[in-house]
Amino acid sequence: MIVIRTPGRLSVRLHPRVLAVGAVCLLLTVGVGVLAVGHGEYPMSPADVLRTLTGGGSAAEEFIVTQLRLPRLVTGLAVGTALGLAGAVFQALVRNPLGSPDVLGFTQGAATGALVVVAVGGSSAALAGSAALGGVVTGLLIYLIAWRRGVHGYRLVLVGIGMSAILTGVNGYLMTRVPLMSASRAMLWLTGSLDGRGWSDAVPLLVALVVLVPALLACAPALRMTELGDDAASGLGVSVHRMRMLLLAGAVLLVALSAAAAGPVPFVALTAPHLARRLTRAPGVTLLPAALIGALIIVVADQVALRALPGQLPVGVVTGVIGGGYLVWLLATERRAGRL
Amino acid sequence: MSTSRLGGNGLRLAYDRRVVAEDLTVAVPDRSFTVIIGPNACGKSTLLRALSRLLKPAAGAVLLDGADIHRLSARAVARTLGLLPQSPIAPDGIGVAELVARGRYPHQGLLRQWSPEDERIVAESMAATGVDDLGDRLVDELSGGQRQRVWLAMALAQQTPLLLLDEPTTYLDIAHQIEVLDLCARLHEEQGRTLVAVLHDLNHAARYATHLIAMRGGRVVAAGEPRRIVTAELVEEVFGLPCRVIDDPETGTPLVVPAARARAGTVAR
């Protein structure tokens, strides 16, 4: 641990390993991002991409980069950041390594919102809005049902799992009501995809990130105190219930808006915080590294989906396979270590 | 009557609709080692929760330095009043020094994360509780007694004049119970802090407390210095236990000896 102090009694604590992991993640993300923008029917070298990004490209290059490829990349980055951060917040809130929006029902709620629009027919904007609404309403319902003199980890998990089961049923029903023509649209959305994303898809989530990332990060020290138990945290001066409500609301918003932008990309929210903890070797809450790793996972997964596999798979297929595989591996190693 | 920074007036303590205590009034004398005793479900832990701002009374008010504790911010309270709950959780893989450092939280801010003062106080707190040589060890690896001393160090690092302990000796064997209580008594004497603890063992309470609060059924039956109030009649009234009270041969404090064949209701001679 490094401590930086100013004569004015200010002091900041830095963990070298966390800094290093963050820096490596950022560099990798930028590198993969440049390659991603260069990839497509009109291939561009990284030098061309950088030249175009700094304003030195031809009109055609300018159009391809800023209107076709950058929105997809930025949407992916935003979704990954949002899911990584929200996943870390959920895991810390419910004190359970499986606490992720996929398990707690928020994702299913967003899917319900989206499927309703697909079933009755509506624009992409309506679909995105309805998905966001579905996620937020589900979050609100879970919160109201789980509330009993504050929200506690296990109640939240159990209520969330119940809600997720109900909504899975509802979604199955909606799928049967979807016109055959729209069924593939619904399936593609449910898998989570970045195909054809424009700036209008990214902007709502970007705005939310600008507000919520600093807000959630500011809660991190208090969140760390709740690892000691609610009573001990209160004794240390944390307003536990208020903090939990704020964090829950922020994380639900991030999940809902990222579902609106790219569909329910699976397992990123579950995997990113675990990777962050392992890489930083920091016990407990690691919000910022989880956000950075989430962004990196999505960008890499999208490139794998586009290049390594035939037939341009949606990104959700790759994160699902990687995330599921990682989870199984995690359970296997934890069991061997005798912890599970 | 001695002064009191912490106390409650006309408290009604309830969980939802289940009332635990009605019209309860208590005062914690300054610089005392106050121990709250009573049978199970008498409301002693509930009282401690109310005194530490964890539970909001349905009526009446807990006063800290004359102000309603629920009108003060959590952080302001945490700078005056520390709390060690019954079973705090040590996060996986946390080191001893790191855990003790968390006691500094109410004194820190976004841009005041680790001052030289924090560092000094954490070192002092670890020395005072005898865990200074465990700094790099993981909390998971420690024995029960060591772990409880680490938690006490964390509470000390909070640097509050008042410190509330909820059953600090539960789950410890007899040697570690005495070790922790000796430590509490030393902190009380040497650092002049006001300690409030809930204890199960009446003899421990009588030996270590300077001020005893005996509760039954949500009300205070007696309060005062153990030598003055611990009698066979009181123990019978509070716990329903026939007994004799003799002088503790070690300390001269009251020692409660349960009657033989207590169920018969007569004291054997």
Pairwise CA distance, residues B28 & B43, whole Å: 16
Q: With CA atoms as reference, report the closest residue to B9 among B59, B70, B72.
A: B59
Q: How far is CA A250 from the centre of its chain?
A: 12
CATH 2.40.30.10 is held by the domain A80-330 = no
Share of chain B above pLDDT 90, in %: 83
Q: Could you tell me which residues come within 8 angstroms of residue A98 by beta carbon, excluding any fewer than 6 positions away?
A: A91, A157, A270
Q: Strand order of the sheet with strand B81-84?
A: B81-84, B162-166, B194-198, B33-37, B211-216, B219-224
pLDDT at A82: 97
Return the DSSP state at A5.
Answer: E
Residue with the two structure tokens 């160090």: B153
- pLDDT computed for residue A279 by the predictor: 86
Q: What is the pLDDT of residue A281?
A: 81
Asked if B85 has any chain A CB less than 8 Å from its own CB, the reply is yes
Torsion of CA B11, B14, B16, B18, to 10 degrees: -140
From residue B10, alpha-carbon distances to A268, B25, B54, B195 in Å are 53, 5, 17, 22
How many CB atoms are closer than 10 A to CB B179?
Answer: 18
- The number of beta carbons lying within 10 Å of the beta carbon of residue A176 is 8
| Closest residue on chain B to A149 (Cα) | B16
Rg (CA), chain B: 19
Phi/psi at A89 (nearest 5 deg)? -65, -45
What CA–CA distance (Å, rounded) separates A94 from A258?
21
Between vectors from CA B143 to CA B140 and to CA B146, what angle results, nearest 5°?
100
Consecutive H or E run containing B114: none
| Residue A232 C-alpha, separation from nearest chain B C-alpha, in angstroms | 6
Distance from the A250 Cα atom to the nearest Cα atom in chain B, whole angstroms:
20
- Identify the pLDDT of residue A147: 80
Give the Cα separation of B5 and A16 in Å (integer).
44
pLDDT at B161: 95
pLDDT at A116: 92
Mutant choice from A9, A147, A231 vs B, greatest count of B C-beta within 10 A:
A231
Q: Note whether B135 contacts A: Cβ–Cβ < 8 A.
A: no
Nearest CA in chain A to B138: A283
**Cβ atoms of residues B102 and B118 within 8 Å:** no
Q: What is the pLDDT of residue B266?
A: 52
Q: What is d(CA A61, CA B98) in angstroms, rounded to the nearest whole number?
A: 53
Decide if A189 contacts A118 (C-beta within 8 A).
yes
- Categorise residue B31: left if φ over 0, alpha if ψ from -120 to 50, beta otherwise: left
Residues paired with B8 in a beta bridge = B26, B62
Instruction: State the DSSP H helix or E strand holding residue B18, giving kind and residue range, or none if neither.
Output: strand B18-28
Distance between CA A5 and CA B179 in Å, rounded? 39
Q: Judged by CB atoms within 8 Å, which residues 140-199 of B form the interface with A? A: 155, 158, 164, 166
Taking contacts as CB-CB distances below 8 angstroms, the residues of chain A near B91 are 227-228, 283-284
Residues of B in contact with A283 (CB under 8 A): 91-94
Taking 70 as the pLDDT cut, the residues of chain B under it are 1, 262-269
> What length does chain B have?
269
- Domains of chain B, earliest start first: 1-80+160-226 (3.40.50.300), 93-159 (no CATH)
Where do we find the tokens 């309603």? Answer: B68
Answer yes or no: are the C-beta atoms of B27 and B47 closer than 8 Å: no
What is the full per-residue pLDDT of chain A (340 aa) written as tens digits? 788 888 777 788 888 899 999 999 999 999 999 999 999 889 999 999 999 999 888 999 999 999 999 999 999 999 999 999 999 999 988 888 888 888 889 989 999 999 999 888 888 889 999 999 999 999 999 988 888 766 677 888 899 999 999 999 999 999 998 888 888 888 888 888 898 888 998 999 999 999 999 999 999 999 999 989 999 999 999 999 899 889 999 999 999 999 999 999 988 998 899 889 888 887 677 899 999 999 999 999 999 998 887 777 889 989 988 877 877 887 787 666 655 4
Predicted local distance difference test score (pLDDT) of residue B170: 87
pLDDT of residue B264: 52
A216: chain B residues, CB-CB within 8 Å: none
Strand partners, A2: A14
A12 CB within 8 Å of a chain B CB: yes
Kindly state the DSSP code that residue B134 receives in the 8-state scheme. G
Distance between CA A296 and CA A30 in Å, rounded?
9
Q: Is A153 helix (H, G, I), strand (E, B) or coil?
A: helix
Closest CA to B20 of B241, B167, B237, B216: B216
Residue B189 in tokens: 């004497």
Q: Do the strands A2-5 and B6-15 form a parallel or antiparallel pair, or are they unpaired?
A: unpaired
Say which residue the tokens 């920074």 belong to.
B5
**pLDDT tens-digit readout, B13-37:** 999 889 999 999 999 999 999 999 9
For residue B20, what are the CA distances in angstroms to B11, B27, B38, B159, B215? 10, 18, 13, 31, 12
Question: Predicted ipTM?
Answer: 0.90
* Segments making up each domain of chain A, as ranges: 1-59, 80-330
Phi-psi region at A284: left, alpha or beta (left = phi > 0; alpha = psi -120 to 50): left
Chain A contacts of B53, Cβ < 8 Å? 234
